[in-house]
Each structure stands twice: as structure tokens, then as C-alpha cells.
Chain A
Amino acid sequence: MPAIQETVDQVSQIDVDQYKYGFVTDIESDRAPKGLSEDIVRFISAKKNEPDWMLEWRLDAYRRWLTMTEPTWSRVHYPKIDFEDLYYYSAPKSTPGPKSLDEVDPELLAMYEKLGIPLREREILAGVEGASDRRVAVDAVFDSVSVVTTFKEELKKAGVIFCAISEAIREYPEIVKKYLGSVVPVTDNFYATLNSAVFSDGSFVYIPEGVRCPMELSTYFRINERNTGQFERTLIIAEKGAYVSYLEGCTAPMRDENQLHAAVVELVALEDAEIKYSTVQNWYPGDKDGKGGIYNFVTKRGDCRGDRSKISWTQVETGSAITWKYPSCILRGDDSQGEFYSIAVSNGYQQVDSGTKMIHLGKNTKSRIISKGIAAGRSDNTYRGLVSAHRKASGARNFTNCDSLLIGDKCGAHTVPYIESKNASAVFEHEATTSKIADDQLFYCLQRGLSSEEAVALIVNGFVKDVIQQLPMEFAVEAQKLISISLEGSVG
């Protein structure tokens, strides 16, 4: 398989703990003063030219947040975050709302080029020759601001709205009002409430009834400024019978201090709609001694509101000092389906506590969880998941498989599934295994002439294959490379 060879080559080229997205882009930015107060919330809202109802919504969230305490139940350890020592808003100064790519700061474009983001249409076309149906529309979020969205016109023709959420609040207030906070309530949890108060930007997607989105939609998130927290908010709505596939990628510069990323993602699928949400998360994980890195505390939830709707989460988590997220599905509609495919790779001093919640409310709802955790170095990798069937969820069905692979004897792999069945006809199956790479597998590869690093890359790629297959093609290759890079230096 060429992809594997590519992985192997990539691994051999790279030095230990080299993070290739660790550059800083020198762009003047516009920041709110440090700290958090009602004034800051008002400042952010004013910066975004938001209507009054939105400001009220934020202020409500902020007041609520003041009464909440930080959750401590997860298996992650970090020094207390000083929420007063963060900048809650940072925007590249030169982009007060670009109309086209030409207006965008060339520094920014250069950065995106470094990131390898296919921002320009021609690059996309050049990238995937002759495959015009594989185009990707991109929304790029830089620190707190959505910088540019491509393919807008073409999407508009199909009736698809794909824009920054700040724009959607101004342009489509009725839709936003109806759905914002309807999946992840303002009061959901500490970080979601904080996000509701100070979220700066993010993507908004609306697929009208019966429309199959003509291309993949993609957002790239980038934290650039020092001491900033990034609080993006994504809202995706698929009307009856609609389909959309959405990709998300994240990077950040290398910094000594830890930075906070507390996003909220809400998905709403109405009758017969399908949303496929893929994430390749590659925030800066910290250096080899565990210094610096992003705290990735994210609330992601999808609501299968309509009958026969489907939401599928796929995530490849290789970055962040701490990852703490549980993309979940509320299976409300009868016959609705939820899926969760995850690869979580941790190395160095990374900590991952991730998993999903499948909440079966409707009849004959189905869910499937495939989670592959790979722990190396001194990292801790936890799968935490809930599968529950409520009284009325007759015929609910779940299959869960979570496997962990340990590389090295200083790391930890943990599995914490919660299974709650209140319905006799709900059938739940859960299986989990933890092991290291078997000596006989390794031996087989070595005696075929592979080096031990190549052998590990091969075996790991086999281990995660079930999940990689769920990713859109462009991401699959990138994800495979990422996994190998993340595991660099863990063998031998």
C-alpha cells in the first residue's frame, strides 16, 4: 500500500518531537484586554456587530458560568487554569471581513500554504486532478475570527449556507436562534457555558431540505496568538433528507505555556438527513518534556432529531497536551443512527480522555462505536463512553469495540464504558481489549526485511484501519501520516 510506504518514509525523515505546524505567523492582531468580565463579553459581541438578543444570550451564559465549578471527574491532570490570565478575543487586524481571497493578508495566505490547506480553488483542482467532484469548500478560523470561506457562490446555488457563525448571526438570525444552544444547552457544562459566553467565531452550515451538499465542507482552526483561548462554535443543520460531509482540522504554534481551546459543536439532523463530521485534531501537543501544548476541552454533540436520520463522528486525535472530548449522539428520532469512529494517539506527556455518548431515546435506534487508542511514551489514553437506552427505546441496538495498544511501559491505557439499559429489547454489546504489539507480528515483519520502525508503522496502520476507512480520502492519507509522526521516537 503506497500510503503505508509514505508513512514509513515520513517517519524516517523526521526528528523526534518535531511539530511541523509550530511556526508563528507574524500578523498584527486586535485583542481584547486580558481577563473575563461582562465588559469583555459585550466587547466581543460588539466586535461582531451582533444583535441584542445574541448579547443577552452571551451575558446569560456568562452569569451562569460564574456560578459553575470546573469539572474534575476526568482522568487528566493539569495545573489550574487562570481564566483571568487569558485573552478571550484576538483577530487578525488586517481582515475586517474580506470579500475575496485577494483582500486577505498575504502573510495569512502564506501561513495557510504552510499548513497545506487547500484554500484556493485552483489548488484544490490541481491537488486532485480530474476529480472535480472531490472539491472541498473551506472556512478558515484564525485565532478568533473566521478569515475566509471559499466556494460560497457555488454552494449558494445549491442552497447551502456555509459561512462564519458571526455572519450567520447577522444574516440568518431566525435559523441561528432556532438551533443555537438547542443541542448543547447554554448550561450544559463548565466549558460549554464559557464558550457560550465568549465564543468568537466558527462555522455555520445549513443544508436545505432534500439537498445533498455538492462538495465536502471543511474548516481549519488555527491558534496563533500567545495567551489566547480559542472558543469556536460550530452549528450544522441538515434539513429533511439533506446530506453533508464536514471536515475539521486544527493546528497551533509551539509555545511554552498551555493554551485553552474550548469549542462547542452542535449538529442537528432532521428526518432522513445525514451528517458526517470528521476531525483531524493536531493541536500542538507540547514538547518532549511535556511543556506547553493545547488544552483541548471540547463539547461536541449531534441530535438525530428526525426519524431515520444519521450522524457519524470520525476523529483522529493526535495533538493537544490534553484532549477531553466526547462527540455524542442523541438518537431521538425513530430508526435514527449514530456512529463514532475514533483514533486517539498519545505520546510524550499527552493526556487523552475521549469517547462518546450514544443516548437511545427513539425506537429501533442504532449506534456503533469503534475506538482505537494508542498510547506511547509517558502518555495516558482513556476511552470513556456512555451507551444508554431509555424506557421507550425499544429495539435499540449498540455495538461497541474499543481496543487499546500500548507502546512502551511508561504509558497507560484505560477503558471506562458506561452501559445503561432501561429497555429489555435494547441489545447492547461491548468489547474492549488492551495489548501491546504482539511479538510474533513484529517478528513476522522483521524477518520479511522491515526495520522495527517500519514494522510498527505497518502494524499500527492495520490496527486503526477500521477507522481510517471512514475518513474522506484526503483526510485518510493525512491522518495516516499524522499517526506515524505522533508515534515517532516511541519505538526501540
Chain B
Amino acid sequence: MNAEPRILRTQAEETLALEFAAARTQLPGSPAIAAARENAFAAFQKQGLPHRRTEAWRYTDLRALLRTVPPLAIGPTAETSTLADPLPGLDRARLVVVDGSFRPELSDLAGIDGVTIRPLVDLLQEGDARIGLQVASLNDAMVSLNSALMLGGVAIEVPAGVRIERAIEIAHVTTSAVASHVRNLVTVGDDASVRILETHVGPAGSAYQANIVTEATAGHRAKVVWAKLQSEGDASVHLGTLAVTIGTETAFDHLTLMIGAAISRSQTFVTYSGENARAGLFGATMLRGKQHADIALSVDHAVPNGASRELFKAVMDGRSEGVFQGRIIVRPDAQKTDGRMMTQGLLLSEDASFFVKPELEIFADDVQCAHGATSGEIDEDILFYLLSRGLPRAEAETLLVTAFLAEAIEGLGDEAIGEAFEQISRNWLAARGQEAA
């Protein structure tokens, strides 16, 4: 009666075990990294793919959703990306990662002097101690899988005091039906300032799987703006994780825009290591068809006087499913913490679903924490007002949805990136309007 329920290994888990066994000797890294890979895979195997009873993955049952696993992407391919730029008109430096490997020859490193960019493979070979540090305590099966199979990606180092105006994009491009496990490392020094863009694209119709883990640290008084665009191919699986630790008086603003992939999950873990730090965490999700997108957020106030603001908006059309799981943790000594989280779902169709779990976990008494969540459809009264002013229905809906999403996108506080992301939301709505017409 007390025995752990025996869980049969799924076909996907079987395949992963075989792939790891075959690839373990070829994967790059020092002996220490190789040992870490073994441990990570053992940790993954112990948990297996996350399923309904894995509380953190409650609404994204990968055991059921990931029936098969495509072949592992190993080493750089000759393929050059022919995919369209997802953010036309936005000026930024580009670090291109194709099928899991950093491709300097495709990258544009102009205008970011002072920043050190290196392929992650080099750091793996050196056995850089920073790799794995931020995700060590996450106990997340998919992050463990990434730690076992991680291949390439980039390491960005912004030294102390360096302020970079030009945004730096890490462009993740997948070109064929492979499974890639990318690891990136971003280190922002004290008093430094940087704008990071993280984009994820791939071909339509290809059942590729991308599992990206980014570890970041932001030093004292640093200022970091970080925007993620998940615009993967419509048949793909996207699993993205960002684990970041922020220092004293640091300002960290983060925005996630989820628009692509068949199944996607974006997880962000923010840990406060210094006092008087402030994080703004925003998200906008736009789903149609049978898409499933899950945003998971964990904000860990480990020290006093931290502030966090979270605003997440999701629009669901067709038979899509939107998920938000947010968690604010206030540790015993984190007095004077101020945390506010808001989640709003807008269902555009009868068959869409929205699942929310905004959690507060509080162990200190002198705090101000609040969360709110709403779910509903477009307000008929407001719609009627616009219709009575002569707007066609589709246009009125577009206007209302744009305004709904804009609040979250503008929260980032970066005009250029905000404008580019809003354009994506407008395009999405325009496409929706055309379908309706």
C-alpha cells in the first residue's frame, strides 16, 4: 500500500533513454560536465516526463502530449536559415543558434562592443562552474533533460559598468524535425545595462521539439530588459526555461509573448539575492486552433525589501488551451516584500479553455502581497458601444483584444521592443479577422 505507484515508461521516455545512451560519449564537455550529465539524466529518469500529478506541470501533461521524440540534433548542420525575420524593423544585434548550435557566421555582432560573446560549447569544454548553477535546485524533469543533453547556445557576458543600447537577440532557429537542447548563459555585471531579446522560430508543419534553458545573473544595480518571442512552427513543441538571480537594487523587466507551437511551455524563475530589487514580469499569449500554451512563473523573494509586479494576459480562440501557473514565494526573512500578480484570460470561442493557478506562499509577516485572476469573454456592452459607433464587429473585437494585450506588452517599458511585439499581436488579430470574414 505504501509502495510508490509503478509507472510504466512511455515510448518517448524509452526513446530518450536510448538516445542518451547513444549520445553520451559524443556530447561536448569536461569530465565534470559529463558527470553532471549522467546525474541529470538519472534525475530525469527518476521523475519521467511531467504528467497530471506533477503539480508544477498540472495542466501540461507531457506524458500524454509527447508521444514520440524526434532524433536528437547533434553538432552544427550546414543548413542556413531561410526563415523570415520575426521582428522586421527592430534594430538589434543577432546571435543565431541553429538546431541547437551557435553559428557565429550567421550572427551580427555590431554595436555591442564591450560584451563578450562565446559559444557555450567552449564553456562546456572548460567545465565552467556557472553552468547548471541557476537551475540546480529547480527539480524540473525537462530542465534535467536539458542538462543531460545540452549541446550549444551562447554565453553572453556584460562586464560591470557596461551599458549597451543596442538590443542583443538570441535567435533560436530550428530547420528540421529534430529535438534540440540549447543552453544559454547570460551574465550581467554590476551597474551594467542590457536589453536581451530571445526569439524562437521554426518551419511550419515540422514536428520538431526545442528545449531551451537559459541561466542568467544580474549584478547589483544592473538594469535588464528581457523580451521573449515564442513564434515556433505550428506543429512543434517548445519548452523554454529562464532561471535568473537578481542582485541589490537591480531592475529586471521581462516579457513573454507566446504565439506559436502546437504545445508550448515557458517557465521563468526569478530569485532575489539582494535587497531593494524590482522585477516586472509580463506575458501575452495568443492562441488559436488546437494550440496549448503554458506560462509558469516562480518569483522567489529570498531577501527583504523586494518588489515584483506580474501581469499576464491570454487570448484563446478556436479549441486552444491557455495555462498560467504563477507563484510568489516570500521567505521567512523577506520582510517588506511587495508582490502583485494579475492574470487575465479572454476566451474568444466557445471551445477554448483557460486554466489559472496563481499561488502565494508567504512566510514573512510584514509584506504586501496580492494576486488577482479573471476569466471571461469580450464584454457585450463594450462591444455594443463600438458597434453602435459604426465599427464592424471584427474590427471592434480586434480593437478590444489589442487593448487587452497592450497593457501587458507595454508593461515591459521598452518602446521599441513593445512596438515590435504589438505589431505581432496586430498581425495575429488581422489574420483572425480575415479568417472570420
Contact = CB atoms under 8 A, between A and B. Distances in A.
Interface in A362-416: 391, 404, 406-416
Contacts of B266: none
Contact of A423 (B350, B365, B366): B350
Contacts of A423: 347, 350
B374 A430 contact: yes
A428 B376 contact: yes
Contact of A415 (B1, B355, B359): B359
A417 B375 CA distance: 13
Contact of B354 (A414, A421, A432): A421
A434 B377 contact: no
Interface in A58-113: 66-69, 73
A439 to B, nearest CB: 9
Contacts of A414: 359-362
Given A420-B353, A424-B350, A424-B352, A432 B375 contact: no
A436 B366 contact: yes
A433 interface: yes
Interface in B328-386: 332, 335, 345, 347-377
Tell which of B348, B349, B375, B377 has the most Cβ of chain A within 10 Å.
B375
Given A413-B362, A428-B376, A429-B374, A435 B367 contact: yes
A411 B375 contact: no
B5 interface: yes
Contact of B376 (A410, A415, A427): A427
B2 interface: yes
Contacts of B2: 69
A409 B366 contact: yes
A69 B362 contact: no
Contacts of B362: 404, 406, 412-414, 434
**A408, A425, A432 — which one has the most chain B CB atoms within 10 A of its CB?**
A432
Nearest to B3: A69
B85 interface: no
Nearest to A75: B361
Contacts of A435: 367-369
A426 interface: yes
B357 A419 contact: yes
A419 B365 contact: no
Nearest to B378: A424
A414 B354 CA distance: 23
Contacts of B347: 421, 423-424
Nearest to B340: A433
A20 interface: no
Contacts of A411: 363, 365
B357 A418 contact: yes
A78 to B, nearest CB: 15
Contacts of B435: none
Contact of A433 (B349, B369, B373): B369
Contacts of A428: 373-376
A69 B5 contact: yes
Given A419-B357, A420-B353, A432 B372 contact: yes
Interface string A430-444: 111111100000000
A465 interface: no
B71 to A, nearest CB: 36
A411 B362 CA distance: 8
B361 A430 contact: no
Contact of A430 (B5, B351, B352, B372): B372
A433 B370 contact: yes
A422 B347 CA distance: 9
Contact of B373 (A406, A409, A430, A434): A430
Contacts of B356: 417-420, 430
A436 B365 contact: yes
B55 interface: yes
B359 A416 contact: yes
Nearest to B341: A432
B353 A421 contact: yes
Given A69-B2, A414-B361, A421 B371 contact: no
B415 to A, nearest CB: 31
A422 B376 CA distance: 10
Contacts of B370: 431-434
A424 B348 contact: yes
Contacts of B358: 415, 417, 430, 432
Contacts of A391: 351
A257 B196 CA distance: 57
Interface string B1-28: 1100100000000000000000000000
Interface residues of A, number: 38
B323 to A, nearest CB: 10
Contacts of A415: 358-360, 371
Contacts of B353: 420-422
Nearest to A434: B369
Nearest to B380: A425
Nearest to B5: A69
Nearest to B325: A418
Contact of A419 (B366, B367, B368, B373): B373
A68 B1 CA distance: 7
A412 B333 CA distance: 12
A416 B377 CA distance: 24
Contacts of B375: 419, 421, 426-428
A409 B332 contact: yes
A420 B347 CA distance: 12
Contacts of B364: 406, 409
Interface in B142-162: none
A432 B348 CA distance: 26
Contacts of A410: 332
A69 B345 CA distance: 36
Contacts of B363: 411-412
Nearest to A83: B1
Contact of A407 (B55, B351, B360, B365): B365
B366 A417 contact: no
Contact of A424 (B332, B373, B377): B377
Interface string B175-193: 0000000000000000000
Most buried by B among A67, A404, A416: A416
A396 to B, nearest CB: 10
A417 B373 CA distance: 9
Name the residue in B332, B355, B360 with the highest tally of chain A Cβ atoms < 10 Å from its Cβ. B360
Interface-central residue, A409, A423, A424, A432, by most chain B CB under 10 Å: A424
A279 B376 CA distance: 33
Contacts of B372: 429-432
Max chain B CB contacts within 10 Å: which of A69, A418, A421, A428? A421
A406 B365 contact: yes
Contacts of B369: 433-435
Contacts of A408: 365
Contacts of A431: 370-373
A467 to B, nearest CB: 19
A416 B357 contact: yes
Contacts of B376: 424-428
A69 B349 contact: no
Contacts of A406: 362, 364-365, 367
Q: 10 shortest A-B CB distances, which residue pairs?
A: A424-B347, A406-B365, A427-B376, A430-B373, A419-B356, A415-B360, A421-B375, A424-B377, A433-B370, A428-B375
Interface of A: 66-69, 73, 391, 404, 406-436
Given A415-B358, A425-B376, 20 more contacts: A406-B362, A412-B361, A413-B360, A413-B362, A414-B360, A415-B359, A416-B357, A418-B356, A419-B375, A424-B352, A427-B376, A428-B374, A430-B358, A430-B371, A430-B374, A431-B370, A434-B362, A434-B367, A434-B368, A436-B367
24 contacts: A69-B1, A69-B5, A404-B362, A406-B367, A409-B335, A409-B366, A411-B363, A414-B360, A414-B361, A415-B360, A418-B357, A419-B373, A420-B353, A424-B348, A424-B350, A424-B352, A425-B376, A429-B372, A432-B371, A433-B369, A433-B370, A434-B360, A434-B369, A435-B367
